[in-house]
Amino acid sequence: MIVALKQIIKKAEAGQYAVGAFNTSNLEITLAIVRAAVRKRSPVILQTSESAIKYSSLETIFGIIHNVANTIGSKVPIAVHLDHGHDLSLLKKCLHLGYSSAHMDASDEDWATNVRLSKKAAQLAHQQGAWLQAELGSILGKEGLVKLDSGEINMKDILTDPQQARDFVRLTGLDTLAVSVGTLHGAFRGREKVDQLRLKKIRALTGKPLVLHGGSGLAVGVYRKAIQNGVRIINIDTNLRLVFKKALDLTKESDLVDPRKILEPAVLAMQAEVGRMMDIFGSSAKA
């Protein structure tokens, strides 16, 4: 059932495990995530990006999440989160609709602007009894990786500075901190590293639950070390896209015409992947 993110993360802090935040944009992905949570008896975060909201519409995707979470997922705690929000007006709409957490991503802005927007977003979230995630440092995707390879940018320059993180937390009033420690958005297995010492320092100086974006594709030991160093939320999106496509490729050449039968193997594949991640993160049997 849908609960406040605060309830889920407070328990994760006490138990020293992480909770998966899985992106969804439709019924099939939502079913896969919630069914995995039920099967694993795990808390889970269902999150929507701005592009997912544009694809499905805010009311539609929230309606799907709300209905599936409170029926199929009625026996496990499920939080709803806005991922990588850049628009304060959309963030406000999500909070009013029932999201219990939102991410204000102004990490590409200058320091003063990031602080100002994140502080305003935190105030909006707290007025609704919700939590605010803000981001310091830059987490690269495909375009950023090109700039990294060309030498246009240096990875060390975009990682989260622990001392700045302490000030950022104090100035914004955020509840969870998204950090840049070497992960990448997208499928870049072998290119990603996690600066564990940096994570440990950020956690020590801020005392806040840390959020690891670009969490797909890391080694099991890397995940578990990051959790030891203060990560309590791990974002997963690409992993689900990859297993979805692989399963769909196996059925697209068949004679099937029923969309349910075509999509069912992909839903089952995503469910298995979500369950696997829950075992790694330590959230299984914690509902």
Question: What are 163's two structure tokens?
Answer: 């001392």
pLDDT of 250 reads 86
Which residue stretches of the chain are H helix? 5-15, 27-40, 50-56, 58-70, 88-97, 111-127, 142-150, 155-158, 162-172, 196-206, 220-228, 238-251, 259-281
- DSSP-assigned letters across all residues of 106-164: -TTS-HHHHHHHHHHHHHHHHHTT-EEEEEES----HHHHHHHHHTSS-HHHHSPPHHH
Residue ranges, the chain, pLDDT below 50: 141-147, 149-150, 152, 186-188, 190-191
pLDDT of 190 reads 47
**φ and ψ of 40, to 5 deg:** -90, -5
Q: Is 175 a catalytic residue?
A: no
Rounded distance between C-alpha atoms, residue 35 and residue 22, angstroms: 13
pLDDT of 215 reads 78
Rounded distance between C-alpha atoms, residue 134 and residue 164, angstroms: 13
Quote the mean pLDDT of the chain: 91
Contact 127, 173 (CB under 8 A): no
Catalytic-labelled residue, pool 83, 105, 175, 195:
83
Q: How far apart are the first and last CA of the chain?
A: 11
List domains and CATH numbers for the chain.
5-281 (3.20.20.70)
pTM of the model: 0.92
